[in-house]
Amino acid sequence: MLKIEHIGIAVKDMAASIPLFEKLLNSPHYKTELVEREKVNTAFFQSGDTKIELLESADPQGVIAKFIEKKGEGLHHIAFEVADIEAEMKRLKEEGFTLLNDKPLPGADNKMVCFLHPKETNGVLIELCMERKRET
């Protein structure tokens, strides 16, 4: 776990939330991206060494739509950057944590990602992420 890479925030209306967070952070967002696999629209803000990732469901049945239905808008997950995602997944599994995916999956922002089940982390959804190697 090298550092907190980003914090994910579930929002209902990205078009309204982007200018809101720009006012809050006093800084523009630097990119938006649709994560096809998860049906999620994302927008990123830099804050020091960490990012804020806004998440809006691109599908009424998507994970973010379901999260908002259950818990309302707000803090959704913390993502930690790791040096070796497979080694970190192995270590955490051995420590008794439950991984939500067995293999790293492609995530937003050119990352390979893995999530941990929040039941074992005080209700906090934890993401591990590692920069994806560029295809050569």
With beta carbons less than 8 A apart as the criterion, state whether 92 and 84 touch: no
With beta carbons less than 8 A apart as the criterion, state whether 80 and 63 touch: no
The residue within the footprint of a copy of itself, chosen from 30, 90, 124, 131 (CB under 8 A), is 124
In terms of CB distance, is 75 or 106 closer to a copy of itself?
75
The residue within the footprint of a copy of itself, chosen from 25, 69, 90, 131 (CB under 8 A), is 25
Minimum gap (Å) between residue 135 Cβ and a copy of itself: 28
Q: How many CB atoms lie within 10 A of CB 80?
A: 17
Chain-centroid distance of CA 89 in Å reads: 16
With beta carbons less than 8 A apart as the criterion, state whether 93 and 43 touch: no
Q: Give contact residues for a copy of itself (rule: CB under 8 A).
A: 1-4, 7, 9-12, 17, 20, 23-27, 47-50, 52, 54, 71-78, 80-81, 91-92, 95-97, 116, 118, 120-124, 126
